[in-house]
Amino acid sequence: MRPNRRIRLLMVMDSLAIGGTETYVLSLVKAFPSLGVMPVYAGGTGVMYETFVRAGCPIHRVELKAEQLLDPEQQEQAEKALTQIMRSRKIDLVHIHQTPSGLYAAQAARKLGIPVVFTVHGAYYPPDQLQLMKAAGCTFVCVSLPVQAYLERQGISSQLIANGIDFDQYRPESSAALRASLRIPEGEKIVVYASRLAWDKAAVCGMLVRAARTLRLNEAMPLHVIIAGSGNQAAAIAELAEMVNLECNTSFVQLVGSQMQMRDYYNLGDLVVGTGRVALEAMACGKPVLAIGNHGYFGFVEEAVFAEAWHYYFGDHDSKERPSEQRIGEAIRDLLVSTDKLEKMGRQGQAWARANFQILDKAFQMKQLYNSLLW
């Protein structure tokens, strides 16, 4: 290929559900056209379908969820459909993000002589599946230093390209209308928890709810908790929220489900509890972050520990300690009493995020990798 020719890219994912991986792909899809990369999507559908369409990304629906790919006939149909898309769209390069869906895309691409990039978003990918991806000839990209180390332990080299944030989309703005709609009185503090309610992240959410209960009952702190996300443990979290709301005689814990406009909810919070991409998006909105992830507890993301927070990927891929209800409660109590510290952390976090995680910078790095594989 000629270096100045546009790259026809096929992005493949399990679905268009709301999550960090899907948001990451959407941010690249929006940034790529200005760099001469023209993305097409193939995979399952979901609530982010319209968002991808508005971004100008052609969509081909292919059932690629793990449970469906257990059927050998479905595997054959998926690979055949992906092959047809690659041929009809004259795809130059395939970019995959998940397993096992990505394996069938990689196999189809390999038969057509098309390079494949595989972004590994965490240390939860089973080693045997990673080895299958390696055998399929994938070029590996990782999003954090701990994930890069995890891949190295599997004998897999990778290029580090961090998540990028669109600072036009994630920015500070008024949350007065949302606060009013949720009936939260002015002057009362709000903690926002944003995550899929599954795995260890759901356990952390439960600790946060119980810690907030203790702060309201024992210290009379006028605190509200807003939980944005869904998952297979959402019902259990909803049951816990109902119980503590009854005990405290007020609906101070509210579940709002998965949200397409997370900027509104980040801006609502005096403090955001989250990890990974959520931490970066919240900082882009000028909000202080208490970082707790799948791996464990990191703590406040403040100027003295910015480099360390990145090294741990905000507790999602590595951590300092195990989280606990007491640890979370102490951290929230200590920070929310200091308005000046909240504002300072928010300003410094936003400046650091802007300096290091601009989406156009990360998209350009990705394009450079694509170029290296195409000529």
- Give a yes or no: residue 169 inside a domain: no
Q: Are residues 72 and 88 in the same domain?
A: yes
Looking at residue 375, what is its pLDDT?
A: 86
Burial class (CB within 10 angstroms; exposed 0-12, middle 13-18, buried 19+) of 106? buried
- How far apart (Å, rounded) are the C-alpha atoms in residues 278 and 20? 8
Q: Are residues 123 and 230 in the same domain?
A: no
- Give a yes or no: residue 2 inside a domain: no
Q: Are residues 199 and 221 in the same domain?
A: yes
Q: Are residues 368 and 349 in the same domain?
A: no
Q: Are residues 120 and 199 in the same domain?
A: no
- Give a yes or no: residue 34 inside a domain: yes
Q: Are residues 240 and 284 in the same domain?
A: yes
Looking at residue 3, what is its pLDDT?
A: 57
- How far apart (Å, rounded) are the C-alpha atoms in residues 87 and 327? 54
- Give a yes or no: residue 110 inside a domain: yes
Looking at residue 4, what is its pLDDT?
A: 66
The verdict on pTM exceeding 0.85 is yes
Query: What separation in angstroms does the CA of 42 have from each of 33, 61, 62?
Result: 18, 6, 6
Q: Where in the sequence is the domain holding 154, given as residue range(s)?
A: 7-164+358-374
Q: Are residues 67 and 193 in the same domain?
A: no
User: Total domain count for the chain?
Assistant: 2
Q: Are residues 34 and 105 in the same domain?
A: yes
- Where residue 83 sits, what CATH number does that domain have? 3.40.50.2000
- Give a yes or no: residue 200 inside a domain: yes
- Give a yes or no: residue 238 inside a domain: yes
Q: Are residues 219 and 138 in the same domain?
A: no
Q: Are residues 212 and 144 in the same domain?
A: no
Looking at residue 66, what is its pLDDT?
A: 82
- Give a yes or no: residue 96 inside a domain: yes
Query: How is residue 114 written in tokens?
Result: 């098309």
Burial class (CB within 10 angstroms; exposed 0-12, middle 13-18, buried 19+) of 90? exposed
- Give a yes or no: residue 39 inside a domain: yes
Q: Are residues 74 and 221 in the same domain?
A: no
Looking at residue 120, what is its pLDDT?
A: 98
Looking at residue 146, what is its pLDDT?
A: 95
Query: What separation in angstroms does the CA of 126 have from each of 23, 98, 122?
Result: 23, 11, 11
pLDDT along the chain (375 residues), means of 10: 80 95 96 98 96 97 86 92 98 96 95 98 94 97 97 98 96 97 96 95 97 96 97 97 97 97 97 97 98 96 97 94 97 94 97 98 98 95
DSSP secondary structure code for residue 6 in this structure: P
Q: Are residues 249 and 344 in the same domain?
A: yes
